[in-house]
C-alpha cells in the first residue's frame, strides 16, 4: 500500500483526506497497531474534524479485525486519550486528530500502555508490520464489539483540578476569553473555566469541526480572540488547537504573545514551587534555559516531538517541560502536551503573583524568535542540510535532528517537519534583526533546492 504522500513520524500518521488519508490506510495502520499491542482493550478518541467519523470506523474495523476491543471515548482532547489508557488499564490508545493542521487533514496518533505516544523504535516496528503484511487477523469467534465509555472529560478535569489550587484562582474571579476553534476544546475548556470560577467569553465552542480559522494557535490565527479580549475587557485570552495539546495566549491589552511564552510562563511558575530538571526540544527558546538556571535547575534538550520530551522527563523526574509551540507537559496530570492543564496553570500563576499576564510576560528573559516553513523536496533535504553546515560557521553544531547551530548571542535550527511537508527554519537572538537575518540565510539555501 502506497504511503509516499503520508506524513509518518513520532507525531503519528497524517495526510489530506480523500488523497493520502483514506479509510483503507487507517484500517491497516490500526490493524498493525493492534498486532503490535496484542488482542487487548484499546482506547479510541477523536477531535471534531468532519472526517473523524469515517476514520473512527476505519480504526475500529482495523482493531477489531486483530482481536482488540475498542473503548470508544467520542470527542475528547488527545491528552484525555493517554490519561484514559491508564485509567481504564487498557493496553494502548488511538487519538484521531491532525492537531494543528487545517481542516482537510486528519491523522492518527498511537498511545502506549503507559500513556505515552509511540517512540521512534516502536514506530519503526509498527511500520514494519504495516508494510510487510504481518498483521495477525483474528477468527470470527474472537472478534470483540466496540464498547462506549462515558466520563472521560470529567476524569481529565478531575485530574487537572487535583493539580491546581482552584480556590486561589476562584478568589480572583478572572474574566477569560477562550477560542476553541470548534475543536475538542469545546467540550472541556468551558467546563474548566466554570470549575475555577472564571467568567467566560466563549468563541467558537461548537464541537462540529467547522474551523473558523486554521487551528494552529499562532499570532495570525488569534486576531478575533485579541479583539474579543479588548472589547470584553478580559484578563486573558486562550486559543486552543483542534485536539487541545497546544495553547496560545493573549494578554489583557489584546497583545498576542508568541507561542514560546506559554511554556516559559509555565516553567517559571512550576519551578517557583518545585525545583527539578526541565526538558524541552531543540527548537525551543533559550528563555527556558535562563529561567531554569535562575532556579538552579538543569535544562535538557531532545529531538522535536512530544514523546521525545516526555520520555526524557520521566527518566529525570522532571516536574515540567514541553515544546515551544505552546505545548506544556505536566506529568502529574498527563504524559503529553495538555492545553487545558496549561490554561489552568497560567491562571493560577496570575492569581498567585497578583500580576496581570502582560506583567508576567514582560518579566521573562527577552529573546526574539522567528519561525518560518518552506517547501523543499524530500529527496533534497540531506543535500540542503549539507549546504547549511558549510554556510554557517563558527558555532556549536548539533545534528541530532536536522542541524542546529548555536552562537553566544543566537542560534538557528533547520529541520524537516514531521507534521507537514515542509522544512522548518527557526532562529533566535537577543536582536530581532539578527534572528530574521539568520532565517533569511536559511531560506536562501532552501530556495536553491526547490
pLDDT tens-digit profile of 401-428? 999 999 999 999 999 887 777 889 999 9
Do 163 and 139 lie in one domain? The reply is: no
For 196, the grid coordinates are 475555577
pLDDT at 394 over 90: no
Which residues touch 31 (CB under 8 Å, ≥6 apart)?
62, 63, 65, 66, 135, 137
- Distance (Å, whole) CA 294 – CA 346: 20
Q: Where are the alpha helices (H) located in 88-182, listed in sequence order?
A: 120-132, 152-163, 166-170
- What is the maximum span of the chain, computed from C-alpha positions, in angstroms? 67
Q: How confident is the model at residue 9 (pLDDT cuts 50, 70, 90)?
A: confident
| Cβ-contact 405, 397 below 8 angstroms | yes
Last residue of a domain, one of 327, 362, 397: 362
Last residue of a domain, one of 341, 362, 383: 362
- Distance (Å, whole) CA 405 – CA 411: 6
Do 105 and 226 lie in one domain? The reply is: no
* Number of helices followed by number of strands (H, E) in the chain: 15, 21
**Catalytic site residues?**
99
Please give the mean pLDDT across all residues of the chain: 94
Do 166 and 38 lie in one domain? The reply is: no
pLDDT tens-digit profile of 240-249? 999 999 999 9
pLDDT at 439 over 80: yes
Do 295 and 185 lie in one domain? The reply is: yes
User: Which pLDDT score, from 0 to 100, does residue 171 have?
Assistant: 96
Do 190 and 211 lie in one domain? The reply is: yes
Q: Measure CA 445 to chain center.
A: 29
Query: What percentage of the chain has pLDDT greater than the value 70?
Result: 98
Do 233 and 283 lie in one domain? The reply is: yes
Q: Which of 13-17, 149-153, 345-349 has the lowest mean pLDDT?
A: 13-17
In terms of residue numbers, what domain contains 343?
Answer: 155-362
The answer to whether residue 2 is domain-embedded is no
Do 248 and 230 lie in one domain? The reply is: yes
Average pLDDT over residues 341-352: 98
Average pLDDT over residues 378-394: 82
Q: How confident is the model at residue 376 (pLDDT cuts 50, 70, 90)?
A: confident
pLDDT at 2 over 60: no
- Distance (Å, whole) CA 302 – CA 277: 13
| Cβ-contact 225, 203 below 8 angstroms | yes
User: Which pLDDT score, from 0 to 100, does residue 350 have?
Assistant: 98
The answer to whether residue 1 is domain-embedded is no
CATH number of 383's domain:
3.30.310.50
- Distance (Å, whole) CA 127 – CA 29: 8
- φ, ψ (nearest 5 deg) of residue 110: -105, 135
Q: Measure CA 272 to chain center.
A: 24
Do 173 and 311 lie in one domain? The reply is: yes
Q: How confident is the model at residue 391 (pLDDT cuts 50, 70, 90)?
A: confident
Q: How confident is the model at residue 47 (pLDDT cuts 50, 70, 90)?
A: very high
| Cβ-contact 47, 184 below 8 angstroms | yes
Do 195 and 327 lie in one domain? The reply is: yes
Contacts 24+ apart (CB under 8 A), 138-142: 138/39, 138/65, 138/66, 138/67, 142/39, 142/67
Please give the model's pTM, rounded to 2 decimal places: 0.94
- Distance (Å, whole) CA 213 – CA 209: 11
User: Which pLDDT score, from 0 to 100, does residue 359 have?
Assistant: 98
Contacts 24+ apart (CB under 8 A), 162-168: 163/330, 163/332, 163/333, 163/341, 163/344, 164/196, 164/344, 164/345, 164/348, 165/348, 165/351, 165/352, 166/195, 166/196, 166/197, 168/348, 168/351, 168/352
User: Which pLDDT score, from 0 to 100, does residue 382 have?
Assistant: 84
* Beta-sheet strands, E only, within 347-429: 368-374, 396-398, 403-406, 410-416, 423-429
Do 191 and 310 lie in one domain? The reply is: yes
| Cβ-contact 310, 336 below 8 angstroms | yes
Q: Where are the alpha helices (H) located in 279-338, listed in sequence order?
A: 287-294, 306-316
Last residue of a domain, one of 344, 362, 380: 362
Q: Which residue has the cell 517512540?
A: 119
The answer to whether residue 244 is domain-embedded is yes
For 80, the grid coordinates are 484525555
pLDDT tens-digit profile of 260-310? 999 999 999 999 999 999 999 999 999 999 999 999 999 999 999 999 999
Choice between 394 and 166, residue whose per-residue pLDDT is larger: 166
pLDDT at 148 over 80: yes
pLDDT at 377 over 80: no
Do 113 and 37 lie in one domain? The reply is: yes
Which residues touch 175 (CB under 8 Å, ≥6 apart)?
198, 199, 200, 201, 232, 233, 234, 235
Average pLDDT over residues 130-143: 90
Average pLDDT over residues 1-28: 84
CATH number of 353's domain:
3.40.120.10
Q: How confident is the model at residue 4 (pLDDT cuts 50, 70, 90)?
A: low
Do 381 and 443 lie in one domain? The reply is: yes
- Distance (Å, whole) CA 444 – CA 275: 42
pLDDT at 326 over 90: yes
User: How many domains would you assign to the chain?
Assistant: 3
| Cβ-contact 329, 263 below 8 angstroms | no
For 193, the grid coordinates are 473555566
Amino acid at each position: 500500500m502506497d504511503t509516499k504522500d503520508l506524513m509518518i513520524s513520532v507525531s503519528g500518521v497524517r495526510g489530506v483526506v480523500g488523497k493520502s488519508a483514506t479509510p483503507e490506510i487507517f484500517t491497516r495502520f490500526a490493524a498493525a497497531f493492534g498486532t503490535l499491542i496484542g488482542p487487548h482493550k484499546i482506547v479510541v478518541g477523536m477531535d471534531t474534524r468532519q472526517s473523524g467519523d469515517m476514520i473512527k470506523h476505519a480504526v475500529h474495523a482495523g482493531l477489531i479485525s486483530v482481536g482488540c476491543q475498542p473503548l470508544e471515548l467520542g470527542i475528547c482532547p488527545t491528552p484525555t486519550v493517554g490519561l484514559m489508557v491508564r485509567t481504564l488499564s487498557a493496553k494502548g490508545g488511538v487519538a484521531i486528530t491532525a492537531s494543528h493542521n487545517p481542516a482537510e487533514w486528519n491523522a492518527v496518533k498511537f498511545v502506549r500502555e503507559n500513556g505515552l505516544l509511540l517512540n521512534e523504535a516502536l514506530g519503526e516496528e509498527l511500520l514494519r508490520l504495516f508494510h510487510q503484511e504481518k498483521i495477525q487477523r483474528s477468527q470470527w469467534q474472537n472478534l470483540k464489539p466496540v464498547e462506549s465509555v462515558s466520563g472521560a472529560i470529567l476524569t481529565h478535569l478531575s485530574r487537572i483540578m487535583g493539580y491546581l489550587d482552584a480556590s486561589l484562582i476562584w478568589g480572583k474571579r478572572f474574566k477569560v476569553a477562550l477560542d476553541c476553534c470548534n475543536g475538542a476544546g469545546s467540550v472541556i475548556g468551558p467546563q474548566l473555566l466554570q470549575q475555577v470560577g472564571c467568567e467566560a467569553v466563549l468563541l467558537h465552542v461548537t464541537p462540529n469541526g467547522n474551523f473558523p480559522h486554521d487551528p494552529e494557535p499562532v499570532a495570525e490565527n488569534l486576531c478575533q480572540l485579541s479583539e474579543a479580549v479588548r472589547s470584553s475587557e478580559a484578563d486573558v485570552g486562550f486559543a486552543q488547537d483542534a485536539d487541545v495539546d497546544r495553547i496560545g495566549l493573549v494578554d489583557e491589552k489584546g497583545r498576542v504573545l508568541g507561542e514560546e511564552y506559554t511554556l516559559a510562563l509555565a516553567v517559571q511558575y512550576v519551578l517557583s514551587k518545585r525545583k527539578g530538571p526541565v526538558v524541552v526540544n531543540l527548537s525551543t527558546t533559550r528563555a527556558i534555559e535562563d529561567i531554569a538556571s535562575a532556579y538552579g535547575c538543569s535544562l535538557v534538550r531532545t529531538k522535536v516531538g512530544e514523546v521525545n520530551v516526555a520520555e526524557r522527563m520521566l527518566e529525570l523526574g522532571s516536574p515540567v517541560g514541553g515544546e515551544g509551540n505552546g505545548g506544556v507537559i505536566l506529568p502529574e496530570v498527563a504524559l503529553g502536551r495538555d492545553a487545558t492543564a496549561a490554561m489552568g496553570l497560567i491562571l493560577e500563576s496570575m492569581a498567585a503573583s497578583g500580576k496581570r499576564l502582560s506583567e508576567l510576560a514582560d518579566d521573562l528573559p527577552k529573546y526574539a524568535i522567528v519561525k518560518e516553513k518552506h517547501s523543499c523536496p524530500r529527496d533534497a533535504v540531506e543535500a540542503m542540510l549539507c549546504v547549511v553546515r558549510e554556510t554557517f560557521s563558527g558555532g556549536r553544531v548539533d545534528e541530532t535532528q536536522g542541524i542546529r547551530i548555536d552562537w553566544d548571542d543566537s542560534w538557528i535550527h533547520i529541520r524537516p517537519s514531521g507534521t507537514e511537508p515542509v522544512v522548518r527554519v527557526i532562529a533566535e537572538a537577543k536582536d530581532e534583526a539578527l534572528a530574521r537575518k539568520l532565517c533569511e540565510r536559511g531560506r536562501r539555501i532552501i530556495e536553491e533546492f526547490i
